Structure formats: C-alpha cells, structure tokens
Amino acid sequence: MIPDRIIEQDTLTIDGDRASVEVRLPWYRALPASCIAGATLTIDGVTAPADSLRWEMNGRTFTFAELRRNIEEWWFPTDSAVLSGGLALDETAEHKVEVGLILYIPYIVIGADEVLHIEEHDAKTMTARKAVAA
C-alpha cells in the first residue's frame, strides 16, 4: 500500500559483518508479529542469506521462525522495525538498499482458509554508518 516508505532513509548501519536498516509497515493498521511472513535484504545486488535475517521490534530481536507463532508482539504503523542480515559493507561508500516484505492481513479473508497477503518492495540509496556501542 505504501511501498516507497518501507525503508527509512539514512538508517543503513553496519556492525561487523551485519548490515541493518529501519523499515516501516506499508499498511495502515497494526499487525501482530505472526503476520510478518518474510523479508529480504539486498545491498548492492547481494542478498543476505535467509538464515542470517533478524527482525527487531519493540526492543526484542526475532528470527522469522520465531515470528510465525508470535501474537504477543505487534508492529504499529508509527513504529520502525529493524531488519538485519549477514552482509559485510564498506562504511564510506553509498549503497543501494532493497527490502522486500511479505505480510498477511488477517482480517481480510479472500477464500476458505485464506487471508490476504501482500508483497511490497522498496529501494533507496544511502551511505552506511557504523553501529554505536551501547
């Protein structure tokens, strides 16, 4: 619905061999974590391995397998989540960042035992910054 606002501009961060970017919900209503069906993170044409992807929201970090059954955590349209993956980047260069999201919309039933799912993509160019130690 709002794919050009998925990636938050200037949020590309590197921490060792991991890259992360802040993402926004491309939907107008909050969704439980179980509705975040998947994501891809591609930087400069290289896609992070699926098993390296992590999703952080509400101060907690999850694998996508952990999100699948999680109905306690919610992603709100006003909150950014952080998508990270195993990608080593040059800190000083500009990078083309691409994010793909697959979301289920549980309250829009489109068939017997099937709800609407949306697949959205966004791409932005930005310079990476080094993660700040907490």
pLDDT band at 93 (very low <50, low <70, confident <90, very high): confident
pLDDT digits (tens, 9 = 90+) for 13-49: 999 899 999 999 998 899 999 999 999 999 999 999 9
pLDDT digits (tens, 9 = 90+) for 94-119: 999 999 999 999 888 888 888 889 99
Question: Do residues 102 and 68 lie in contact, with contact meaning Cβ atoms separated by under 8 Å?
Answer: no
Q: pTM to 2 decimals?
A: 0.92
